[in-house]
Amino acid sequence: MSQANPKLNWCIARLGSDVNWWVEEISDAIHWDVDGLGIIDPRQVAYVVDLLEPLQEYNLDPQLFENAFFGFAIDKELKDGQVRLARTKGSLLEADEPLFALPDVIDEEKGPYADFIEHVTRLRVRMLNDLIEFSQKLTVEELEEEIREQQNSDLLEGRATHFFQEITSILEYVPDGYELEADEERKAQTEEDVVEEEFQDLDSEEDETLEEDDTMKWDEDDEDEDEDEESEDGAEKKKPEDS
């Protein structure tokens, strides 16, 4: 199996302008072409795992997810915003540290990643047909066709489709004119978490500003008190002379 490939020990990745990570160099250049090769970062891995959760009711096979990716941990940061990632054979689902995930696309049509994509596509279609009353049952072919259209559109515009985009386009897919309440709640929760983080950062900045203002005020109060004491001392010294 390709998961045991001894030549795949490390890779160098960069953060693209699209906020996705892309492989720049890899230890096994014979089996891997880094041109347009994306790698899923730890936060994206967590997001995908979250999207997979509803499919557990439809016989999701976690092992297909595990087999579909090579795990990588950050080895060290490099210049120009690049990082060197070291291969790890730990589980993505049970890892104690954040891991990057490189899809196993050595065999694009029949490999572990292709099996995973086929599996979640079928389960997503089954779930949609279960939760939405379509006039006609949604088919796997219909979903796959829409995904291909998106990828062809990216290709025509000179963009490579990142693996994270491919996976989420399946796991978040809902036909036009329909929506899933669970998806809307999850998106709302995600947005709420982002806003909460922003407010926490803002509150932290305000606290720092207030501390500085209070300190400055204390310094000013001390100066005013010193000036008042000097004025009183001066007045007391002048009194005997006036008399």
Q: How do the pLDDT tens digits run along the chain, 243 residues long?
A: 344 455 899 999 999 999 999 999 999 999 999 999 999 999 999 999 999 999 999 999 999 999 999 999 999 999 888 999 999 988 999 988 999 999 999 988 889 999 999 999 999 999 999 999 999 999 999 999 999 998 898 888 888 899 999 999 999 999 988 888 766 555 555 545 544 554 455 455 445 444 544 444 445 555 555 555 555 555 444 444 443
- The 3-class SS string of 101-145 reads EEECCCCCCCCHHHHHHHHHHHHHHHHHHHHCCCCCCCCHHHHHH
CA distance 38 to 240: 89
Residue with tokens 């204390």: 218
Are the C-beta atoms of 85 and 101 separated by less than 8 Å? no
Cα 242 off chain centre by: 80
Give, in degrees to the nearest 5, the angle at Cα 31 between 27 and 36. Answer: 80
What does the alpha-carbon distance between residue 240 and residue 243 come to, in Å, rounded to a whole number? 5
Residue 6 C-alpha from the chain's centroid: 29
The predicted model scores a pTM of 0.73
Nearest to 19 by CA among 132, 185, 165, 204: 165
Distance in angstroms (rounded) separating the CA atoms of residues 149 and 37: 20
